[in-house]
Amino acid sequence: MAARSGVDFGHRYRVGWHFLVGVVAVFVAVAIAADVTMALGQRLLALGTLAVIVAWYALVAPQAVGNGDERWGVAYFALLAVAFPLLLAIAPIGAALMFALCPQLFVMVTRWRVRLPLLLILYAEHAWAMFARIGVSRYSLAMIGATVLVPLTVTILAGVYLTGIREQNRKRAALIEELTRTRAALERASHEAGVHAERERLAAEIHDTLAQGFTSVLMLAQAARTTLLRNPAAADGQLDILENTARENLAEARSLIAALAPVDLTGRSLADALDRLAARHTRDTSTRVEVSVVGDRPGAPTGTDVALLRTAQEALANVGKHADATSVRIELCHEKGLTTLAVTDDGQGFDPAAVRAGYGLLGIRTRAAGLGGTSTVRSAPGQGTTVRVELPSAPPEQAARSPRPVPGHSATPAAEPAGPGR
């Protein structure tokens, strides 16, 4: 039989079942020890029988509750069918164990055709102990009805209800697991499809540009070699064609690179790209933008530079839309293994807690987190705004790849909101 589901109340709350048995056993033991109407030998025998029942529970019950094999439960109740009536015959207070035995039955045994006979045996032993103690009379029959038949009926109804809940939980857990597996499979399929499509696109681009260009270069080089031996003067023209073809091929290669990285970073450092960005913003908005660079970081991963440049672009875009600033300062700092970019404006500011986070905040956080960094925004009404991103100078392997833009957002990544409605 399969292991129990994680939502099975018998398995999930097994510590609670152990606690219930312990509480009931302690109550019965104290009641037996305090019963002065019993001889000392009877009390010791009753306590010994109770100890055997508890020890049998400790030995077998965890297996029955933990692995879902009802054979352990049947074995547990088979010994109880012998020990329980003995305890009842010596100490009637032992009937209080029914408070623990009945719930155990519905946890350890799963099939009703096995549960019901075991349940009837327990209550029959209880009824036998009462008849043996007080005899058969109207009073004893009334007591049997009140202490055996009514609890038996309530136990069966409660068992039906709890069994139904457990079955619903089991089906719900199975459905959730299936949905989780399906979602994971869809995500993998979507990722693989995206990777495949991108590979096909790059393969087609390379085939139609670089591969064709290299083929032409190779053919022209072979032709020039042949002509050079026969007519060196004529070979000059072919070499010119070869050089032009190589230049065109180089231009195609640069075009492909430009499609994968920001134009401002093509052949330039991040500091140069920030200077160009600041100059464009000043030209377009008349807002003075200063760039400050502290430290040096040679050989920086392209993905890190892309994330920082995109952050600066989005921050400046927000300044132009919302801040009403007169000056902006971009600070790029490389120190202690961290690269920090801070964009500060002297605009109207805002209360970050009062602004609903939009794609800007999500975009910057996604890019920073993907490279093992952090992003923060500081602002207050009338005190300007600072958008700050810290990234490791040598981030994990994903830093070698440019972070993907957030779906549904524009090509420039999102930044922390720098004003209402951002």
Domain end: 87, 104, 135, which one?
135
Task: Say whether pLDDT at 308 is over 70.
Answer: yes
How remote is the C-alpha of 240 from its chain's centroid? 60
Q: What would the mean pLDDT of 330-353 be, rounded to a whole number?
A: 88
Q: Is there a domain that residue 150 lies in?
A: no
Please give the C-alpha separations between residue 365 and each of 260, 317, 362, in angstroms, as whole numbers: 21, 17, 5
Q: Is there a domain that residue 369 lies in?
A: yes
What does the pLDDT read at residue 163?
Answer: 73
Q: Using 50, 70 and 90 to split pLDDT, how confident is the model at 331?
A: very high
- Quick: pLDDT tens for 263-290: 566 667 888 888 988 887 787 677 899 9
Lowest mean pLDDT among 52-56, 120-124, 185-189: 120-124
Q: Is there a domain that residue 198 lies in?
A: no
Q: What would the mean pLDDT of 132-139 be, rounded to a whole number?
A: 70
What does the pLDDT read at residue 329?
Answer: 94
Output the domain CATH number for residue 310. Answer: 3.30.565.10
Q: Which of 269, 299, 292, 300 is nearest to 341 (CA)?
A: 292
Q: What would the mean pLDDT of 257-265 be, rounded to a whole number?
A: 61
Q: Is there a domain that residue 123 lies in?
A: yes
Domain end: 114, 135, 156, which one?
135
Q: Is there a domain that residue 158 lies in?
A: no
d(C-alpha 415, C-alpha 422), whole Å? 9
What does the pLDDT read at residue 351?
Answer: 81
Domain end: 90, 120, 135, which one?
135
- Quick: pLDDT tens for 63-88: 776 666 677 777 777 778 788 788 87
Give the structural domain span for 109. 9-135
Task: Say whether pLDDT at 402 is over 60.
Answer: no
Q: Per DSSP, what are the bridge partners of residue 378?
A: 386
Q: Is there a domain that residue 164 lies in?
A: no
Assessment of whether the complete model's pTM goes beyond 0.75: no
Task: Say whether pLDDT at 193 is over 80.
Answer: yes
Task: Say whether pLDDT at 169 is over 70.
Answer: yes
Amino acid identity, residue 332? Answer: L
In 273-357, beta strands by DSSP E: 288-294, 327-335, 338-345
Lowest mean pLDDT among 18-32, 265-279, 298-312, 396-410: 396-410
* Tally of structural domains, the chain: 2
d(C-alpha 121, C-alpha 119), whole Å? 5
Q: Is there a domain that residue 212 lies in?
A: no
Q: What would the mean pLDDT of 390-419 be, rounded to a whole number?
A: 47
